[in-house]
Amino acid sequence: MGVLTALVTWPLAPVRGAVAAARLVGDEAERQYRDPVAVRRALEQVEQSRAAGLLSDEEAAAMEDELIGRLL
In tens, the pLDDT along 10-47 reads 887 888 889 999 999 999 999 999 999 999 999 999 99
Q: How far apart are CA 32 and CA 4, in angstroms?
A: 41
Q: How far apart are CA 50 and CA 32, in angstroms?
A: 24
Overall number of domains in the chain:
1
Q: What is the pLDDT of residue 4?
A: 80
Residue 5 located in a structural domain = no
The answer to whether residue 1 scores a pLDDT higher than 70 is: no
- Domain with 53, as residue range(s), is 36-72
Q: What is the pLDDT of residue 12?
A: 78
Residue 48 located in a structural domain = yes
Q: How far apart are CA 66 and CA 32, in angstroms?
A: 15
Residue 27 located in a structural domain = no
Q: How far apart are CA 48 and CA 62, in angstroms?
A: 15
Tell me which long-range contacts 45-54 makes (C-beta under 8 A, separation of at least 24): none
Q: What is the pLDDT of residue 27?
A: 95
